[in-house]
Amino acid sequence: MPMPQALVETDQTVPGKLNNKVAIVTGSGRGIGRSMALKLASEGARVVLNDLDEVPASAVKDEIILSGGGAVLCCGNVANSDMADKLIATAMDAFNGLDILINNAGYTWDNVIQKMTDEQWDAMIRVHLTAPFRILRAAQPVIRALNSADLQANRRVVRKVVNVSSVSGMFGNAGQVNYAAAKAGIMGLTMTLAKEWGRFNTTVNCVAYGLIKTRATSATSDGDAAIDIEGRQIKVGVNPDLMTMLERSIPLGQAGTPEEAAGAAYLFCIPESDYVSGQTLLCTGGLTGI
């Protein structure tokens, strides 16, 4: 597969705990994914950026490169059947490695069950569960080969997978039966893969987020706020009064920022977590149910 047409800086000048590690972060053009990519890059990782929209992803790439890091684009819908192979190939073609894989891409499409369509159900399962499954399936031969090379060279390299879940997947949430089911599934996938991939010196963990301030929650639900998913307009946003009420239920008193959310995933990527696997970390500001 030819190398993507993108500006790539491979002469790493950023020192850090992840120096010269190669990371894939899906959904990294905006919000939590953007903050994840910037955080990893600030610690020396070279990042494969993915988003539906190439414009914000390109801006993140430029920001990383201007800071002395390495980045390349692989944009497209992770729910497409060919996207998994493209992501893994991009990492290998651009940086000749794969050390960190964060399955973050997704969105919500809510409704109560009696009004939920098959399309809504299928869309959430595809993007939040089937897409990570396909990406991890495509990554397995690469991770296995890289680990074999490490063993032959008598070096121990611990690779990291971080899947993104939600408190909706842990506790359920009215109006989100599709999203909650998918996010519960990703936790099961995480625990199972931790058992399968331990022999490859690869940890597999999960972060379950609570209320985080992104475009999906910060926009007001006035009927106009929407995101474009390949031509389909999906309404987003939380009514300001409801947002205030939700924040009051959080022990820390406010919704999390994308940077704070990224910090939780980062904990699973650094050497200090090399012996932590199969776990789900709540990043909720202390909220333990919804």
Q: Which amino acid is at 255?
A: A
Neighbours of 256 (CB within 10 A): 23
Distance, in Å, from the CA atom of 171 to the CA atom of 180, rounded to the nearest integer, reads: 8
Does the annotation mark 179 as catalytic? yes
Neighbours of 240 (CB within 10 A): 12
**Partners of 194 in the β-ladder:** none
Tokens linked to 3: 């190398």
Distance, in Å, from the CA atom of 210 to the CA atom of 226, rounded to the nearest integer, reads: 21
- SS3 helix, strand, coil % of the chain, rounded to 5? 45, 15, 40
Let me know: does 197 contact 204? Beta carbons within 8 Å: yes
Let me know: does 28 contact 49? Beta carbons within 8 Å: yes
Q: Out of 179, 209, 266, 275, pick the active-site residue.
A: 179
> Catalytic residue positions?
179
